[in-house]
Amino acid sequence: MKQHLVRQPNSCYWLKAQTTERPNRTILEGIKTAWINENGSLPIGNDIAEAKWNQPIDAKQEMTEAEAIQYHDPLIDEVAKEKLLKNISRRVEANILEILKTRGLEENIRFNPKLKTSGLLDLK
């Protein structure tokens, strides 16, 4: 649930839960199919946008024009690129946390620091 909240903070507002004693892929897929049928249409995040809900956030997509120029500069070394990506990731992380804070989130959110140097954000 936290992953969905940080990956799509402007689209994640409620959840529906069902408990099972022994979850497996068949049961979970059946529950998903039943919920989609109950909804009457394919909910957002279960179609072409599914990766935005299920994959780590690619902070590189939030590069400013100046950052993109710096990142693609042939004279910049790998260490400098990693540092740039880490700073971009931190900026994107701060934006996400600010959005969640304004919504009243009190839960502690911690992103995996090792992924930031590759420009990715995912919870630890």
State the pTM of this model: 0.84
**Amino acid 45: pLDDT:** 81
* Range of lowest pLDDT (11-15, 73-77, 106-110): 11-15
Query: What is the total residue count of the chain?
Result: 124
Q: Span 31-50, mean pLDDT?
A: 88
Asked if pLDDT for residue 44 goes beyond 90, the answer is no
Asked if pLDDT for residue 7 goes beyond 90, the answer is yes
CA distance 79 to 43: 41
Query: 46 and 65 share a domain?
Result: no
Helix (H) or strand (E) holding 35: helix 25-39
Q: Span 8-36, mean pLDDT?
A: 90
Query: 69 and 102 share a domain?
Result: yes
Query: 65 and 87 share a domain?
Result: yes
Nearest Cα residue to 91 out of 49, 50, 54, 61? 61
Asked if pLDDT for residue 47 goes beyond 90, the answer is no
Query: 61 and 120 share a domain?
Result: yes
User: What does each C-alpha distance from 110 to 46, 53, 62, 90, 124 come to in angstroms?
Assistant: 26, 17, 20, 12, 6
Query: 1 and 34 share a domain?
Result: yes
Query: 63 and 51 share a domain?
Result: no
45 or 36: which carries more pLDDT confidence?
36
Query: 86 and 51 share a domain?
Result: no
**Amino acid 97: pLDDT:** 96
Asked if pLDDT for residue 95 goes beyond 90, the answer is yes
Query: 20 and 42 share a domain?
Result: yes
Asked if pLDDT for residue 92 goes beyond 90, the answer is yes
41 or 94: which carries more pLDDT confidence?
94
Query: 102 and 118 share a domain?
Result: yes
Query: 69 and 123 share a domain?
Result: yes
Of the three residues 55, 77, 101, the one that is the final residue of a domain is 55
CA distance 56 to 49: 13
Q: Which domain holds residue 30?
A: 1-55
Number of domains in the chain: 2
CA distance 80 to 87: 11
**Amino acid 16: pLDDT:** 83
